Structure 1
Amino acid sequence: MQPVRSYKIRGAYNKIYNLHAKEELKNGIVCASAGNHAQGVAFACNKLKIPGTVFMPVTTPEQKLEQVAMFGGSFIEIQLTGDTFDDSKKSAMQYSEDSGAAFIHPFDDIQIIEGQATLAVEIIEQAEEKIDFIFVPLGGGGLAAGIVTVFSVLSPETKIIVVEPKGAASMKASIEAGINTQLAHINKFVDGAAVQKVGDLSFEICKDYIYDCIAVDEGKVCETLLELYNKDAMVLEPAGALAIAALDQYKDRISGKNIVCIASGSNNDITRTEEIKERAMLYKGLKHYFIVRFPQRPGALKEFVLNVLGKSDDITFFEYTKRNSRETASAIVGIEVASYADFKGLSERMKESGYYESYLNDSPDMMNILI
Structure 2
Amino acid sequence: MPVTTPEIKWRSVERLGATVVLKGDSYDEAQSYAKLRCEQEGRTFIPPFDHPDIIAGQGTVGMEIVRQLQGPLHAIFVPVGGGGLIAGIAAYVKRVRPEVKIIGVEPSDANAMALSLCHGQRVVLEHVGGFADGVAVKVVGEETFRLCQELVDGIVLVSRDAICASIKDMFEENRNILEPAGALALAGAEAYCKHYGLKGETVVAISSGANMNFDRLRLVTELADVGRKREAVLATFLPEEQGSFKKFAELVGRMNITEFKYRYDSNGKEALVLLQCWHLY
Partner SS for 1:103: coil
Q: C-alpha separation between the residues in 1 aligned to 2:226 and 2:235?
A: 9
The two structures have a TM-score, normalised by structure 2, of: 0.88
After superposition, the Cα gap between the structure-2 partners of 1:110 and 1:253, relative to the gap in structure 1 and judged at 3 Å, is: farther
State whether structure 2 residue 10 is matched by structure 1 residue 65: yes
- Equivalent position to 2:172, from 230, 235, 258: 230
1:221 Cα deviation (Å)? 1.0
Q: Across the two proteins, how many residue pairs are aligned to each other?
A: 272
1:294 Cα deviation (Å)? 7.6
Whether the aligned pair in 2 keeps the contact of 1:133 and 1:254 (CA below 8 Å) is: no
Report sequence identity in percent.
Answer: 34
State whether structure 2 residue 203 is matched by structure 1 residue 262: no
Q: Deviations over 1:28-53 (max 9, x none)?
A: xxxxxxxxxxxxxxxxxxxxxxxxxx
* Structure 2: runs of 5+ lacking an equivalent: 265-269
- Equivalent position to 1:109, from 51, 62, 65: 51
State whether structure 2 residue 140 is matched by structure 1 residue 183: no
Q: C-alpha separation between the residues in 1 aligned to 2:175 and 2:254?
A: 34
Q: C-alpha separation between the residues in 2 aligned to 1:171 and 1:311?
A: 41
**One-letter amino acid of the structure 2 residue matched with residue 171 of structure 1:** M
State whether structure 2 residue 33 is matched by structure 1 residue 87: no
Whether the aligned pair in 2 keeps the contact of 1:134 and 1:159 (CA below 8 Å) is: yes
Please say which of residues 221-230 and 87-96 is displaced more in the overlay: 221-230
- Equivalent position to 1:286, from 214, 232, 236: 232
Partner SS for 1:121: helix
State whether structure 2 residue 85 is matched by structure 1 residue 139: no
Whether the aligned pair in 2 keeps the contact of 1:316 and 1:336 (CA below 8 Å) is: yes
1:290 Cα deviation (Å)? 2.5
Q: C-alpha separation between the residues in 2 aligned to 1:331 and 1:148?
A: 49
* Structure 1: runs of 5+ lacking an equivalent: 1-55, 321-328, 341-371
After superposition, the Cα gap between the structure-2 partners of 1:331 and 1:122, relative to the gap in structure 1 and judged at 3 Å, is: same
Per the alignment, residue 335 of structure 1 pairs with: 276
Q: Deviations over 1:81-125 (max 9, x none)?
A: 110000000000000111111111100011111211111111111
**One-letter amino acid of the structure 2 residue matched with residue 93 of structure 1:** K
Q: Deviations over 1:215-234 (max 9, x none)?
A: 11222112211222234322
Whether the aligned pair in 1 keeps the contact of 2:79 and 2:208 (CA below 8 Å) is: yes
Q: Which has the larger radius of gyration?
A: 1
After superposition, the Cα gap between the structure-2 partners of 1:279 and 1:69, relative to the gap in structure 1 and judged at 3 Å, is: same
Per the alignment, residue 360 of structure 1 pairs with: none
Q: C-alpha separation between the residues in 2 aligned to 1:310 and 1:294?
A: 24
Q: Deviations over 1:281-320 (max 9, x none)?
A: 55545222233458637xx877865774236312341348
Per the alignment, residue 15 of structure 1 pairs with: none
After superposition, the Cα gap between the structure-2 partners of 1:187 and 1:294, relative to the gap in structure 1 and judged at 3 Å, is: closer
The two structures have a TM-score, normalised by structure 1, of: 0.68
1:126 Cα deviation (Å)? 0.6
Whether the aligned pair in 2 keeps the contact of 1:120 and 1:151 (CA below 8 Å) is: yes
1:143 Cα deviation (Å)? 0.7
CA RMSD of superposed structures (Å) = 2.3
State whether structure 2 residue 103 is matched by structure 1 residue 157: no
